[in-house]
Amino acid sequence: MARAIWAKAIGREPEAMLKRLLAEAPLCGLSLDVLSEPVEDSAALLVFDPDDPGSLTAVQDVCREGRRQILGIAAGRAAEDGSADWRFLQAGLTDIWHAKGPSADLAADLCRRIKMRLERMTQLDAVLKSERVTRNLVGSSGVWTDALRRVAEAALFGTLPILLTGESGTGKELCARFVKSLSGDRSGGDLITVDCTTLNPELSGSELFGHDRGAFTGAVGMRRGAFALANRGVLFLDEIGELDRLLQVQLLRAIQEKRFKRVGSNEWVQSDFRLVCATNRDLAQEVADGSFRADLYHRIAGCTIRLPPLRDRRGDVLPLARHFLAACLGEEGAVEIEPSVATLLTEREYPGNVRELQQIVQRLALRYPGAGPVTPGMVPAELRPTHDCATEAPEACEFARAADGALAAHMSLKDIAREATDAAVRLALSRCDGNVSAAAKLLSVTPRALQLRQAQQSGSESH
Ligand SMILES: Nc1ncnc2c1ncn2[C@@H]1O[C@H](COP(=O)(O)OP(=O)(O)OP(=O)(O)O)[C@@H](O)[C@H]1O
């Protein structure tokens, strides 16, 4: 591994262990370094003592600093049943190992295992930072990159069928293409998409399985169906939740055995495809209700990945909007967006998710004259916000309404100011996915000042 992996220890025993690991690391080809500041947003190693009461908060603080992949090494006794592990994962660790030490043998073995694990994380990081992702699968929010990482992991390191779930327009088909692009290097086959909403049990056999010449009136030649065409590629069954019960049975057999018969033929045809399915329905619930076959569900849901709705990744709205603008305007893509339009785009609701945002941006682009920023006048009338107090600025109007409520509740000026500050801190942190430095920047304060404010906030909440 060429670049050094940032490593940190919290506490005395962990520091001794990290020292031992640093001594052994070069012998195992692992490049570890203790730096006061992380060099980049990539995999990292954190050694801590799970028995230390302050360790959970300390781990949380490190994880909040922005690195996404952190391997935790627990150097301590910890509970026998490992129950604390889940809390550390919740605090932000990617994984956790318990290690005793620090004997030289154990440290060498640990280094080898850490190296393999970090290499896997780094490999996935490299995919997520590659042009095929940054150019096509826009977004850097935690929920989106976590989902994308799981898609990449499933595509690269296994053959299980992938089930993509999520609301309409969240990028399920785009992710199916991503799976194809990652497995394409190995298999060379195509991505074959079947829209299950258009299938019907009487007529769709040929589309799925193909037919022989003369199989039915009008079958003048042999036809290869979707299952055969997907050989050595990816078969993408979109909207699989819409499948009729009869078709569910037909598909089950072909998916299970990876072989089928063309309509009008008695010969088995083998096809080696990677299966990716998508649905915006809650299939587990439909299985419970009896409307979706449990056996088919368990076949297709080898690896289920939920794509987040846009409301859970508002920080991605503007990068997505810029991406779609660039697609519409070509070379003139890097245009500024006026703050009023940026706020409108970020704060509005998107029941149609990314597809809806894309359509709105396409409408904005229609009015873009070719120079200057995107201005409020380019926003279609029905999308513009309306305000009761026409004479006031929109923000002042919202504030006035909130202050009115506070006065009605007999709050003092001091309490109103504190409530407003706390709300702004919460909003900024939520918009920045809990990243303190980014939220501090947004609020024009130092990260230290923001942390102090948070501490006061949680102090007053616990009283
Ligand atoms: N992260 C993203 N980056 C760039 N474009 C995106 C992203 N997510 C979605 N899109 C675009 O949004 C549109 C809708 O995405 P897609 O068709 O993949 O959604 P879907 O979840 O399959 O929708 P549906 O359930 O309605 O079929 C497409 O044009 C797609 O290219």
pLDDT digits 0-9 by tens, 187-243: 678 899 999 998 887 777 788 888 877 767 776 777 788 999 999 999 999 999 999
173 within ligand 1 shell (Cβ under 6 A): yes
Question: According to the model, what pLDDT value does residue 462 have?
Answer: 53
Query: Domain spanning 142-306 has what CATH number?
Result: 3.40.50.300
172 within ligand 1 shell (Cβ under 6 A): yes
- Ligand 1 centroid to Cα of residue 311, in Å, is 15
Give the pLDDT mean for 17-46. 77
Per-chain mean pLDDT for the chain:
85
358 within ligand 1 shell (Cβ under 6 A): yes
- Residue of 355, 360, 361 to test ligand 1 pocket, by largest number of atoms within 8 Å of CB: 355
Largest CA distance in the chain: 86
**CATH homologous superfamily of domain 5-128?**
Response regulator (3.40.50.2300)
- pLDDT, tens digit, 9 for 90 and up, residues 253-279: 889 888 888 888 888 888 999 999 999
Give the relative orientation of helices 104-129 and 12-24 as an angle to the nearest 10 degrees: 80
Question: According to the model, what pLDDT value does residue 139 have?
Answer: 94
- Locate the ligand 1 atom nearest the alpha carbon of residue 139 and give its number: 1
Question: According to the model, what pLDDT value does residue 256 have?
Answer: 87
CA dist., res. 376 & res. 366, Å (int): 14
138 within ligand 1 shell (Cβ under 6 A): yes
Question: According to the model, what pLDDT value does residue 1 have?
Answer: 46
Are 303 and 250 spatial neighbours (Cβ–Cβ below 8 Å)? no
91 pLDDT more than 50: yes
- Locate the ligand 1 atom nearest the alpha carbon of residue 144 and give its number: 1
- Ligand 1 centroid to Cα of residue 278, in Å, is 12
Nearest to 142 by CA among 247, 65, 218: 65
- pLDDT, tens digit, 9 for 90 and up, residues 402-431: 777 777 777 888 888 888 888 888 888 888
- Ligand 1 centroid to Cα of residue 174, in Å, is 6
3 pLDDT more than 70: no
Domain 311-383 coded CATH 3.40.1160.10: no
Closest residue to atom 9 of ligand 1, CA basis: 171
ipTM confidence: 0.98
169 within ligand 1 shell (Cβ under 6 A): yes
66 pLDDT more than 70: no
Compute the Cα dihedral for 172, 131, 365, 328 and give only its sign. negative
- Ligand 1 centroid to Cα of residue 389, in Å, is 38
pTM above 0.90, yes or no: no
Question: According to the model, what pLDDT value does residue 79 have?
Answer: 60
Give the pLDDT mean for 361-387. 87
Question: According to the model, what pLDDT value does residue 200 have?
Answer: 80
298 pLDDT more than 90: yes
Question: According to the model, what pLDDT value does residue 351 have?
Answer: 95
Q: Which residues 6+ apart lie within 8 Å of 248 measured at CB?
A: 292, 293, 296
Closest residue to atom 23 of ligand 1, CA basis: 169
Question: According to the model, what pLDDT value does residue 388 have?
Answer: 58
463 pLDDT more than 90: no
